[in-house]
Amino acid sequence: MEIQTNFMIQSKILLADPHAITRKGLAQIIRETPDFELSDQATNKQELLEKLDLLNLDIVLLDVSTSDETDWQVILEIKAIYPDLPVIVLNFLSDEKSAIPYYKAGASGYLTKECSEKELVTAIRKVVSGGKYVSSKFAETLVAGLEDDANRPLHDTLSPREFQVLVMISSGKTLTQVAKELNLGIPTIGTYRRRILEKLGLENTAQMIRYSFENKII
């Protein structure tokens, strides 16, 4: 006699959000969804990174204000340690263009906090299955933005990490200092510097600093 059992694989989720009220609402949605499991919660970046070392997760649901730095840098830090761990970003901002830096940093999905419960669940399921979630509103914005590429400043072509290195070097930090702060090798920072110069059409650090001042980056 064959015994059948009902077994549902649950997606293990870490919820990172510093706002208690918002966190409570998101946690309730996760707990009420049969194929979701709330593995743990974090209230700040340090707590988030510490818990990543202890949990076997399928996805991180991240409120971007978890970070004390430029928001997308949190994703870079997560991806540096766990490159295959998907991250969905939640943001209070309704401007869909704000999503671009997060996707560049490695986010698998971006939702504003105006999204419905149904959309959140759909996004999590799609990302956990290996896909990326882009809302229809953001897709329209992205397509429209392609038409304006000619008018965009050159530094918009930089990746989030390249932009971070641009800011740090333009602020007067040496390659050694940048490498130490980002926990990367000096040759790696040198590679980023070379790419930045190429993308901006510059020749040296002095021109890079001038560019940053003229474009109000620093």
Residues in the chain with pLDDT values less than 50: 1-5, 66-69
How many CB atoms lie under 10 A from the CB of residue 105?
Answer: 23
- For 165-205, what is each residue's pLDDT tens digit? 999 999 999 999 999 988 889 999 999 999 999 999 999 99
In the numeric block, the tokens 């993308």 are attached to 199
- Give the Cα separation of 36 and 48 in Å (integer): 19
How many CB atoms lie under 10 A from the CB of residue 79?
Answer: 17
pTM, two decimal places: 0.71
- For residue 132, give both structure tokens: 């990326």
> Can you give the pLDDT at residue 69?
47
Q: What stretch of H or E contains 60? A: strand 59-63
**What phi and psi values does residue 152 have, to the nearest 5 degrees?**
-80, 145
Domains, the chain, ranges and CATH?
11-146 (3.40.50.2300), 153-214 (1.10.10.10)
> Can you give the pLDDT at residue 151?
63
- Give the Cα separation of 19 and 184 in Å (integer): 32
Sheet containing strand 36-42, edge to edge, reads 36-42, 11-16, 59-63, 87-91, 109-112
- For residue 93, give both structure tokens: 């901002």
> Can you give the pLDDT at residue 68?
42
> Can you give the pLDDT at residue 140?
63
Does residue 70 come out as left (phi exceeding 0), alpha (psi in the -120 to 50 range) or beta? beta
> Can you give the pLDDT at residue 177?
93
Q: Which CB contacts under 8 angstroms, 24+ apart, belong to 121-128?
A: 121/29, 121/33, 121/36, 123/88, 124/11, 124/13, 124/36, 124/59, 124/61, 124/88, 125/11, 125/35, 127/59, 127/86, 127/88, 128/11, 128/58, 128/59, 128/86
How many CB atoms lie under 10 A from the CB of residue 7?
Answer: 6
> Can you give the pLDDT at residue 67?
45
In the numeric block, the tokens 């919820």 are attached to 15
